[in-house]
Amino acid sequence: MALAIWVPTRLWMGGVISPKRDLDLIQALADKVRKMALCRPLLLAVDGLVSYVSAFRNAFRSKFPRQAGETGRCKMVAWQAIAIVQVVKQRVEGILNVERRIVQGAKDRVEHLIQTTQGKGVINTAFIERLNATFRQRIDPLTRRTRTLAQRAETLLAGMYIVGCFYNFSRRHRDDVRLSS
């Protein structure tokens, strides 16, 4: 299962499922996120899996028109407003090393987007990790040791959407956001 979250409001944007955590799964998620994205500055934070970077780079690019007389296929150009950051965690001899990388975008743009979405902090994947934990806690077949297995992909997909809808519409997301009456 791969999930996406909109950090400023903590809303679940959607997810996809697959038997394997591979490029096809991540590309399906990236395509889903792109369908919802506007052409505005956007910070995409991913973990150390290489598929994330290539999938989001593929999803967030557009065809650049050919000049008169040029042959061949159109060039694909990355969206300028997209910043991709990656958090790579490695455990070496019991010590956890965390490397934060800016994969696409300028450092000042990334810092501005972090300030805008989180208020403060560093490049991290904590928000999606918490969301993943919430989904694992509420969907039995996703727990580490369980007696309930998902027999069909449709069952897991339905469970994901039920938990996602509950997460978005039946729980408080942020205490500092006030609704005006």
pLDDT per position in the chain (181 positions), as tens? 999 999 888 889 999 999 889 999 999 999 999 999 887 889 999 999 989 999 999 999 988 877 777 777 888 888 889 999 999 999 999 999 999 999 999 999 999 999 988 888 899 999 999 999 999 888 877 776 666 666 678 888 999 999 999 999 886 655 554 444 3
Please report the sign of the dihedral spanned by the C-alpha atoms of residue 49, residue 51, residue 52, residue 54. positive
The pLDDT value recorded for residue 146 is 64
The pTM (predicted TM-score) of the whole model is 0.81
Tokens coding 31: 């395509």
The pLDDT value recorded for residue 153 is 83
The pLDDT value recorded for residue 181 is 38
The pLDDT value recorded for residue 148 is 66
